[in-house]
Amino acid sequence: MTTDLDGCLPQEAYAASLAGFDLMTVHRLAALLRHHPPAEAFHVAAGDLPPTDGLVARVLERDDVRASWRRSAGRRDPAAVWERCRELDLQVLVLGRDGYPELLQHDPQPPPVLFARGDPAALDGRRVALVGTRNATAAGRHIARTLGDGLARAGVHVVSGLARGIDGHAHAGVLEAVTDGAAGRPIAVVASGHDVVYPREHRTLWERVGAEGLLLSEWPPGAVPVAYRFPQRNRLVAALSEIVVVVESRETGGSLITAQMAAERGIPVMAVPGSAISRAAIGVNALLRDGSAPAVDVGDVMVALGLDHTRATPRADDPRVRPRPADVPAYRVCSVKASTVGEVAAALDVSVVEAAMALARLEQAGWLAHVDGWFEVMGSPLACP
């Protein structure tokens, strides 16, 4: 780890502090760290240094953001945040720096900062997400535990959000197999700081996942599980998986959000068939009706894993889907400078609606980042005439 100019703190300490700022979003944090080293980014957010990038400057033009970040900088001393991370035995992984998971480098919305307890090497193995409703039936809990146990014994790592119901029972099954010497490991993504266990009854489960596998969060120590953090958690559950298996789901819920985010990333979604008269099966049966493959047992999932090895290890080539030819002009405009929808529409002499749709597609595919109404290019440049 490199340190700041004074040689006192690692750069990761400043990133960890920034991740907990009030009014900090994934997009804003990504923009700060894309254009500034973490220590410099902290001082830019605190108002001690001017931003070197126009996009960050425009974010700081908002009075509420500027005032909130200055207050946060006063409360979130990087040295104190770093010490708390050390007490909890956390690794702080920063996008673009050594140690960050290659698997997430090209995700359409990679987490700028990750807090990890356990062994990040688990992400190099085969990975299946087991997700489902918190209000699981007895049958659903049994299936989740059985699938978790069977996959772990087959050497497959199991990803979940450690929620009540399906998620917790899936990882309980994995840990039973680990106790017997299985090679598969639990990988969990949570929606709070590592020291804020939610739900509380999963404290032992959290500790064992961190000890036997990998426990991840985008949120620093002390962060509480507020509602908007759960969909963000779900996107990482999807992004870290080769296949997402929905065990039980009602008509709406986090597991269906995870399935949608997996589909948007080209990750296969499987579903465990359920009774037509069970509310806990409404969501999974809808997935099956819409084309998801059935997962009746561990064998079905193993067959699916054998059909596609492309996500077993990180790919060296750029995995982003190339934009539609009609969207390339919008990309070119943003490659010159960060632009708003209106500026792109004016530059291309098209309607705002047309420009907005092109920009949305480019953002979804990972070619653009969207921060407070401004779009800028992401990752390696698009090779286009």
Domain residue ranges of the chain, discontinuous segments joined by +: 1-87, 117-307, 325-377
Q: Which structure tokens are listed for 56?
A: 């960050």
- Look up tokens 């098209």; give the residue: 350
The predicted-structure confidence for 141-168, as pLDDT tens digits, reads as follows: 999 999 999 999 999 999 999 999 999 9
Asked if 117-307 and 325-377 have one fold, the answer is: no
Long-range pairs for 371-374: beta carbons < 8 A, 24 or more residues apart: 371/27, 371/28, 371/30, 371/31, 371/55, 371/59, 371/338, 372/27, 372/28, 372/58, 372/59, 372/62, 373/340, 373/341, 374/55, 374/58, 374/338, 374/339, 374/340
Task: With CA atoms as reference, report the closest residue to 183 among 147, 154, 145.
Answer: 154
The answer to whether the beta carbons of residues 256 and 283 sit under 8 Å apart is: yes
Question: What does the buried/exposed string (b/e) look like for 262-294 if buried means 16 or more CB atoms within 10 Å of the residue's CB?
Answer: bbebebbbbbbebeeeeebbbbbbbbbeeebbe
- Do 131 and 262 contact (CB within 8 A), yes or no? no
pLDDT category, 376, cuts 50, 70, 90? confident
Distance between CA atoms of residues 119 and 115, nearest Å: 12
pLDDT reported for residue 383: 67
Judged against a pLDDT cut of 80, whether residue 319 lies above it is answered with no
- Whether 109 has a pLDDT exceeding 70, the answer reads yes
Alpha helices (H) in the chain, listed in sequence order: 11-18, 26-35, 38-46, 54-60, 63-75, 78-87, 102-105, 138-153, 166-179, 203-212, 229-239, 254-264, 282-289, 298-307, 328-336, 341-348, 352-364
Range 33-51 average pLDDT: 94
Question: Which pTM value belongs to this model?
Answer: 0.84
State residue 310's pLDDT score: 44
pLDDT greater than 70 at residue 91: yes
**Whole-number mean pLDDT of the chain?**
90
CATH class of the domain defined by 117-307: alpha beta
- Mean pLDDT for 206-216 is 96
Q: Which of 35-39, 244-248, 274-278, 296-300 has the lowest mean pLDDT?
A: 274-278
pLDDT at 315 > cutoff 70: no
Render pLDDT for 228-287 as a digit per residue (tens, 0 to 9): 899 999 999 999 999 999 999 988 888 999 999 999 899 999 999 988 888 888 999 999
- Fold of the CATH domain 325-377: Arc Repressor Mutant, subunit A (1.10.10)
Per-residue pLDDT tens digits for 63-88: 999 999 999 999 999 999 999 999 99
Angle of helix 138-153 relative to helix 166-179, nearest 10 degrees, comes to 40
Residue 251 has what pLDDT? 84
Asked whether residue 309 carries a pLDDT value surpassing 80, the answer given is: no
> Tokens at residue 68, please?
């909130």
Q: How many other CB atoms sit within 10 Å of the CB of residue 80?
A: 12
Paired with 3 in beta bridges are: 10
Least confident of 156-165, 167-176, 329-338: 329-338
pLDDT, position 384: 55
